[in-house]
Amino acid sequence: MARRPPPDRLRRARAADAAALARLERRAFVGCYAAHRFSAAQFAAYLARPATLAHVVEQSGRIVAYALGVQGGGSRARGARLYSIAVAPTARRRALGRRLLRAFLAAVRRRGCERASLEVAATNRAAIALFTGHGFVPVRRLPAYYSATTAAIRMRRQLRAAGRRRAPRRR
Ligand SMILES: CC(C)(COP(=O)(O)OP(=O)(O)OC[C@H]1O[C@@H](n2cnc3c(N)ncnc32)[C@H](O)[C@@H]1OP(=O)(O)O)[C@@H](O)C(=O)NCCC(=O)NCCS
């Protein structure tokens, strides 16, 4: 009988994940993204900040995908930015990117943010399709963002009407 693949486990990222995340980063981000990879030290710094919203997916105890973003500070506290989402090349097209993006958006909502934004390379069809499928719309083109020849598209998703607060909970 064929053995079932091990189940994927989605959980919050923690400080001890920094080195594994940096290894995944090197496998996942190539081409124009290579110069923009996070190091283990950068992951560790983000994971120590309360504003960070980060999740990983593990298979057999090994991290194969992650998403990391931050809730904006100060007057931008009502917005959140997705900095990075990546799935190991061997684990793609199995809905892990979708699960992580949904987990990020759910966390952003729980923090009471009104919108989420991100930048993606204009050439990255897979990621643009993922984000568009989850309600993100392009709001701006940023020329020469990832390299001299690679523009970014800034995308945004409104999560609730600006200024509208969550209804108080009934007791
Ligand atoms: C973009 C990325 C995160 C998608 O992860 P994934 O787990 O393979 O994606 P999923 O299986 O969850 O797919 C969800 C949707 O994304 C889109 N998508 C994913 N891969 C795609 C591809 N190769 N071509 C076209 N659309 C694609 C589709 O709309 C898909 O929905 P569908 O399955 O109903 O067609 C993954 O390709 C990746 O890690 N890329 C390298 C890192 C990167 O570019 N990150 C984004 C930087 S902003």
Domain at 78, CATH number:
3.40.630.30
Instruction: Please tell me the distance between residue 29's alpha carbon and the centre of ligand 1 in angstroms.
Output: 13
Average pLDDT per block of 10 residues along the chain, 171 residues long: 78 98 96 92 97 97 97 75 97 98 97 95 97 98 95 95 59 47
122 C-beta closer than 6 A to ligand 1: no
Query: Is 168 within a domain?
Result: no
pLDDT of residue 171: 47
CA–CA distance from 129 to each of 75, 97, 122, 124, 132 (Å)? 30, 11, 11, 9, 5
Write down the pLDDT at residue 77: 66
pTM above 0.85, yes or no: yes
Residue 25 lies in a domain: yes
For residues 54 and 46, the answer to whether their CB atoms sit within 8 Å is yes
Classify residue 127: in a domain, yes or no: no
CA 51 – CA 135 distance, rounded (Å): 23
Q: How many CB atoms neighbour CB 58 within 10 A? A: 18
Answer whether residue 161 is part of any domain. no
Ligand 1 centroid–CA 169 distance in Å is: 37
Helices (H), the chain: 18-28, 40-47, 96-110, 125-132
52 lines ligand 1 (CB under 6 A): no
> Is 132 among the domain residues?
no
Distance 132 CA to ligand 1 centre (A): 11
Tally of domains within the chain? 1
Residue type (1 letter), 120: V
Q: Is 117 in the pocket of ligand 1 (CB under 6 A)?
A: no
DSSP 3-state of 62 = strand
Compute, in angstroms, the gap from residue 45 CA to the centroid of ligand 1: 27
Judge if the beta carbon of residue 133 lies within 6 A of ligand 1.
yes
What does DSSP assign to residue 114? S
Residue at 99 is within a domain: yes
Q: What is the pLDDT of residue 166?
A: 57
Q: Mind giving me the DSSP string for 75-110?
A: GGTTEEEEEEEEE-GGGTTSSHHHHHHHHHHHHHHH
Residue 126 lies in a domain: no
Segment holding 48, helix H or strand E: none
For 60, the domain range is 8-116
